[in-house]
Structure 1
Amino acid sequence: MSRPRGDVAADRSQRADDDGTDPGARRRASRSLWAACEALLSAADPRALARALDRLAEACDCEGVALHVVGPDGTFQPWCARGAWRTAPGDLRGCLSVPLCRGEERIGTLDLLGRPGQSLHPGQMSLIRTAAGALGAALGARLELQRLRSEPGRDPLTGLPDARAFHARLENEMSRARRHGYPLGLAFVDLDHFGALNQRYGRAVGDAVLAEAALVLRLALRESDLIARMGGDQFGVLLPETDLNPARRCGERLRHALEEHRFARVGRLSASIGVTASPRGGVEGIELVASGDQALALAKKSGRRRVKAIEPAPVH
């Protein structure tokens, strides 16, 4: 005997609610979780960090959330926490611990304290694992930048190599390119209207934006690439073994990464990017830099928020 169609539809709806496969609910949960992770990574002060953790706890529908990172001695140490963590005897609440990794290296954990009698459905678990992957990569980059800030040849604000280190690496890469016949790509990135941003929000916010932009750009590059802070709101990028067309695609990737990121306090930003590439080591470093500067000027003159590429012309 067949069941009424309404009963079958109700069962399907109930199963969707139970396992989190309802498309609308999953989209809403995904947006909420990603927004919470983005807020966490962009938090520039303790108050913003507390708000971001509250958002993460709400997005995961849990009572407490904490991040632990691997300390110098190899043990996990608390980085930040929010909500209730002590449980009474007999309390059956569970703590879900999700590893945070940078590549194959485990750098911390995301810990979630559930509500009494709560169990996470597969849809929630999938979202949390996906978010933890992105969170681990970004957190690893941020911790690395914090470590690098005190090293010689580093910009103290962003932790990136400074302009002097950039030019030293450029000469080394040019020598390698000539020796092996490799191309070398270069890009200059300028944040659009950064002076107006500084005037409106103040220098402290502007500095936080620069540090955040450095992190966003670094995550969009390969391990073999070099990004440096050239001064002000300009970043320089070296792209070993990269011709002009791949360098242009990299420039577009950097531009989209900045535009898709929501910066703390200021929201969305755009950038102008100039790209060039040495044809198999056939020009000098000064010529490559000059072409990159020309491409950047063209991007700004053309209306900003775009990538322009120029082939270097040998200087005689």
Structure 2
Amino acid sequence: MRMNRLLGVAPDPSSEASGQGAPTPGRYSIRASLTGLVAACLAPALLVSGYLVHENYGQHRARLERDALLQARGLAAALDREFSGVVSGLRVLSTSPALAVDDLRGFHERARGALAFQIVDNYVMTDRQGRQRVNTLRDFGEPLPETGTPAELQRVFETGKPVVTDMFIGPVTGKPVIAIGVPVFRQGQVVYSLNVGLSLERIAEVLNRLAMPGHWVAAVLDGTGTIVARTRDPEKYVGQKATADVMELLDTEPAEITISSRSMEGIPTYAGLARSSVSNWSVVVGAPRSAVEAGFYRSIAWLLASAAAAFTVGLWVAASLSARISGSMRALVEPALSLGSGSPTEYLPPSRLKETEAVSRAIVQAGRMLNDARRQARHDPLTGLPNRLLFDELASNRLAEAHRHGTSLATLAIDLDRFKAVNDTHGHEAGDTVLIAAASRIAGLLRESDVVARLGGDEFVVLLGDAGQGEAEHVGGKLVAALSAPYPGVVPEVSCSVGIALHPKDGHTVAELCLHADQALYEAKRTGKRRVIVYR
């Protein structure tokens, strides 16, 4: 009776009356069970996918923060090199003989001449009272400002060490500038501060030397947190203070740090801050968080959409399987009733579930055919060697390993000399025989770890792992000797030329190495054939 109810078969009235048709508690339909199975299978996959999406977001965020800090560190180093170069030039100029005898007119002439050899705007020399004694922007003897010298330059007299000032308004030019000063000694005492004036455009040039993604922003801050140079909208923000969270870091945090911040425009960013090692300046580089968060939210949306689609497909599959199983069970009702009545049927229809066995055999057969098709697609049908598609894949993997381990690779481009004459003299069947023999000779000279492929026609390429120039030339010579040996039944004398390109000297990608190896091969063909040429 339970089977009749489950399969939708009308129950026997007599059994209903006797109470035998009452449903058994704790039983579920096939469709409900399969639906629960679908949900149970999808739930772990959904959780794991969500975890992987979150981990991927974390890795992308960490990489973005690291890249921002690396950019800030590189900009700070470039700024330090610029300052150090200026300080070196100032130190040389501070030893001028004219200063030893206080010949300021003579020093003024030399300082003006030095402007042609150093990228600075002007030279200024101040005394202990901050008065300008020499300024190359004015002719010697013209009145000079007695005020306006930055107070930071007083530290030159106090410490006897170079000083980089914050931004100030130049008393002569009336424009925002910075100054770098070094002491001028006389008999062991600091008598003057020799300074250079640098316009903010000089700092902007340093900032713009390093390439950054277009949507990133970088700024140089002086010791007070004032923006001295900026990659985006400098005319709007130069001269303003940095954002409050960056200002807090300038007095409390270490030399390098990454933070979640907002740019002056209010754009959320992951910012890297690096301090200058020769001044109290800092460099801040901000990468928009949207570069990571947009992908994160997009991945979440794809995950939810995929889960919904998978659950929908699962429900459809569950309904389909339920219908098949129910149909198979219904087919058993009549034979079972016949068996109960004592008149069993002589024919039992096959179960529809047996189709799974046929499907399995079909899938195995299809898998074999697919493997054969893949092999034919990735190997040369004539020689059995890998073709260009498989070579690019294998070479890319070997190149990635070489990058990780710092090892060298060699790419050998091989072309048979006078191969066309074989086809013209004996026909293409003889040419195919030569190609097969050449492939066999090449493979016989290589290690199992090396890669050889036929690119088409009479062109072959070899990738030697962990091989320098010497070993590559040695193998190339062996290949020339082997492929130049006589081919049975072939009259034209066939030889080969080899071009070599080395990683990392000649390229960092498969395409670059193959291009340069081909150029070396062309040179070998042009200069007489039957030789090995290394790319220069």
TM-score (norm 1): 0.49
Q: Which has the larger radius of gyration?
A: 2
Larger RCO of the pair (alpha carbons < 8 Å, separation 6+): 1
- Could you tell me the TM-score, scaled by structure 2's length? 0.29
